[in-house]
Amino acid sequence: MKELLPLVKSFIKNSFEVILDLKWLIIGENALLFSADAKSMYMNIDTNTGISNISNFIEANRQNIPPNFPTNLFGQILRLVMENNILTSANTTWLQLSGTAMGTPCACAYATITFSHYKNCNRFPEFAQHILYCRRYIDDIFSIWIPPDTQQEATW
């Protein structure tokens, strides 16, 4: 799943990428910087919604994914992992019933892609013209907002 992360429009590998981006970005005087943290993101991703977002993301990026990518098998395995996560804590064993399957190798990428696809399809379209720059690392977001009266071209 990590191979899909570079297809996420606002994805960064680390904070050094943000520093390099900002070094060359021309930011107007009226620009506003903001950061955000998605509170309890992992726990709040409904499994059906998450898997649907991943499937939609794959379809939306089909031209950038190898043609032999096993989409159906990938979806089946992802559902198996998300619906059957067993946790142990303090000598007890639990079946995780909701949210991202914590502790699994795919948890970060799953949450990143799910949240990003949801955001890009449902939240950002109405605001995109005002966002000069937007990068996110898992659930942390850094953006530059341009007020409506001082537009610049977006670079995200």
Closest CA to 132 of 143, 123, 121: 143
The pLDDT tens digits for 68-115 are: 999 999 999 999 999 998 988 899 998 888 888 888 888 989 988 988
* Mean predicted confidence (pLDDT) in 33-40: 82
pTM of the model: 0.78
Domain ranges of the chain: 2-145
Q: Specify the 3-state DSSP secondary structure of 114.
A: helix
Would you tell me how many other CB atoms lie within 10 Å of the CB of residue 48? 11
pLDDT number for residue 122: 62
